[in-house]
Amino acid sequence: FNVVTGEARKIVGAMCADARVRAMSFTGSTEVGRLIAAQSASTMKRLVMELGGHAPLIVFDDADIDRAVTIALDAKFATSGQDCLAANRIYVQRPVYERFCAAFARRIDGLKTGNGLSGDADIGPLMHERAVQKVEEQVADALAHGARCLGGGGRHAAGPLFYQPTLLVDVPDEALIMREETFGPVAAVTPFDDEAEVVVRANATEYGLVAYVVTENGARQARMGRALDYGMVAINRVKITGAPIPFGGVKQSGIGREGSRHGLEAFTDLKYLCLDVA
């Protein structure tokens, strides 16, 4: 196991250009993944990429609301929202929309922001100033598009890189936060009316890493699993990772899979041997 440290652009560029490196695995942004793929074209490398996400979380009106809120809280605010698996767009069916939003706001209000090393903090700092500025831009844009803020909405007194856990509701699809990955502790919630509508809205993105569905209807669970254009679909749960799992996405969220036998196959070549025994 070897770790190479230094200027990433130079190091990765050398790896991409060297034909002795036959395969590369990368986890990071879609933007950087595209650059690596372009630089690897001349050597025809095998690539496995786990890239950006823009996960929808869909709550149907037959869901247990307390359970749905817990799932939404975990899917959105783990690692302060700085996760490619984070739920970016939360769609809630209209008959339970107001009840969900009120319960979600109460749970978010109970999250504690502070130093992650203290042991009792739920929300820690963002990775750098640019990340905080991106969150601020998305929140301001959503409010300008008519969204309402039910909690948070600004930087936290804990420090310059801390942002309050925030709940935005009535967020229209045109808002930036519904079109770009957030990577911060801001939940964007919007209502929907029927299954066909929400499938179209959830799939209307270049990303396709993971989608979350909360429903007690078994037939709907199967339909949504097929209809959602994502590499992974989590139904009534949040945690989906692990060594046996073929982790990965479709569209601009990646190439290939990590984990399981499918992850191993990405680093093997298929050889065909035809033998004449006559």
Task: Please give the positions annotated as active site.
Answer: 50, 84
CA distance 201 to 196: 9
Query: Hey, what amino acid is at 92?
Result: V
Q: Three-state DSSP class for 161?
A: coil
Which amino acid type is present at position 227?
A
Half-sphere exposure (Cβ direction) of 80: Cα atoms closer than 13 Å:
21
Closest by Cα among 182, 158, 157 to 80: 182
Contact in structure between 245 and 50 (CB atoms under 8 Å): no
- DSSP string spanning 31-59? HHHHHHHHHTGGGT-EEEEE----EEEEE
* H/E stretch holding 151: strand 148-151
The CA-CA-CA angle for residues 92, 142, 167, to 5°, reads 50
* 9, 36 Cβ separation under 8 angstroms: no
